[in-house]
Amino acid sequence: MLHERSAGAVVFYCEGKCIEYLLLLYGAGHWDFPKGNIEEGEEEVETVRREIFEETGIKNIAFVSGFRHEIRYFYRKMGDVVNKKVVFYLVRSYEKEVRLSSEHKDYVWLDYENSLKRLTYNTAKETLIRAHDFLKSIGGCP
Ligand code: ATP
């Protein structure tokens, strides 16, 4: 069995008091959050910062402290089973303009309810539920 570790973020933008979340359409066809492989010697938050920039061009961000959620799933890669762990942080973006890399086919900013509908996998939906609840518990968009 192969093992992979990625790190990513539930990225949100405050449109006044309304929270919008950033979702990406992956080449494989699923809607998910920005994320990517943790490289040798990299801290999780460094991966998150790097991946957000590489995948969306967004640089002006702030981590919301106190949120960290890990998921695990299995998928098949050329006959091998991959056991993958992905850790998600909660990140506020101060920019809305997105410059996609060739890795993704599309992006969208959506409110909570529509993000929940759009996300493909249950583990991603669960991550969003936790992130949204956390954000509300600390007052939402200030
Ligand atoms: P990364 O963004 O971490 O570099 P990647 O783009 O190589 O990853 P994944 O998004 O992990 O790849 O997708 C690899 C496979 O796993 C795809 O077939 C995808 O459909 C599936 N997959 C992705 N997320 C999940 C999930 N949360 N639950 C189950 N399967 C998933």
Model pLDDT for residues 55-114, shown as the tens digit of each residue = 999 999 999 999 999 999 999 999 999 999 999 999 999 999 999 999 999 999 999 999
Comparison of pLDDT for 81 and 142, the residue scoring more: 81
d(CA 62, CA 80): 37
Nearest CA residue ID for atom 4, ligand 1: 36
Range of the domain at 45: 2-137
Does some domain include residue 142?
no
Whose CA is closest to 8, among 61, 59, 46? 46
Asked if 109 contacts 64 with a C-beta cutoff of 8 angstroms, the reply is: no
Nearest CA residue ID for atom 1, ligand 1: 36
Residue 142 — very low, low, confident or very high, per pLDDT cuts 50/70/90? confident
Does some domain include residue 31?
yes
pLDDT digits (tens, 9 = 90+) for 5-17: 999 999 999 999 8
Domain CATH number, residue 87: 3.90.79.10
Ligand 1 atom at minimum distance from 75 CA: 16
Ligand 1 center from residue 17 Cα (angstroms): 32
How many domains does the chain divide into? 1
Does the Cβ of 35 fall within 6 Å of ligand 1? yes
E-strand ranges in 1-142 read 2-15, 18-26, 31-32, 35-37, 61-77, 80-93, 104-110
Residues 116-119: contacts with CB within 8 Å, 24+ apart? 118/23, 118/31, 119/23, 119/31, 119/32
Q: Please report which residue ranges of the chain form alpha helices under DSSP H.
A: 44-56, 112-118, 122-137
